[in-house]
Amino acid sequence: MHELSICSSIADITTRRAAGRTVVVINMRIGQLRQIVPGTLVYCWELVSADTPLAGSRISVEYVPARISCRSCEQVTEVGEVPLFACAGCGGIDVEVVSGEEFLITSLELEALAADDAGRGQPTDQGAAKGSPGEGTGA
Partner 1 sequence: MGRFHRHEDGTAHSHDTVDSQDTGHSHDTGVSRATPSTAHTQATGVSSGAAHPDERAGDHSGYATGGERVEVLERIFGENDRTAAANRADFAAAGVRVVNLMSSPGAGKTMLLGETLTRLGSRLRIGIIEGDIETSLDADRLAGLGAQIALINTGNGFGGECHLDAPMVRSALPRLPLPELDLVLIENVGNLVCPAEFDVGEDTRAMVYAVTEGEEKPLKYPVMFRSCGLVVVNKVDLLPYLDFDMDGFLGNLRQVNPAAKVLMVSARTGEGVDAWCDWLSARR
Q: How far apart are CA 75 and CA 82, in angstroms?
A: 19
The residues that bridge with 77 in the sheet, in sequence order, are: 68
Task: Give the ranges where the chain is alpha helix by DSSP (H).
Answer: 3-18, 38-49, 114-117, 125-130
Residue 85 makes contact with partner 1 by CB under 8 A: yes
Residue selected from 40, 46, 75, 112 as contacting partner 1 according to rule CB under 8 A: 112
Residue 53 makes contact with partner 1 by CB under 8 A: no
Residue 37 makes contact with partner 1 by CB under 8 A: no
DSSP strands (E only) in the chain: 23-31, 58-64, 67-70, 76-78, 95-99, 103-110
Q: Decide whether 19 or 51 has the Cβ nearer to partner 1.
A: 19
Q: How many residues lie near partner 1 (CB under 8 A)?
A: 68
Measured from the CB of residue 51, what is the shortest distance to partner 1 in angstroms? Answer: 18
Q: Decide whether 90 or 104 has the Cβ nearer to partner 1.
A: 104
Residue 5 makes contact with partner 1 by CB under 8 A: yes
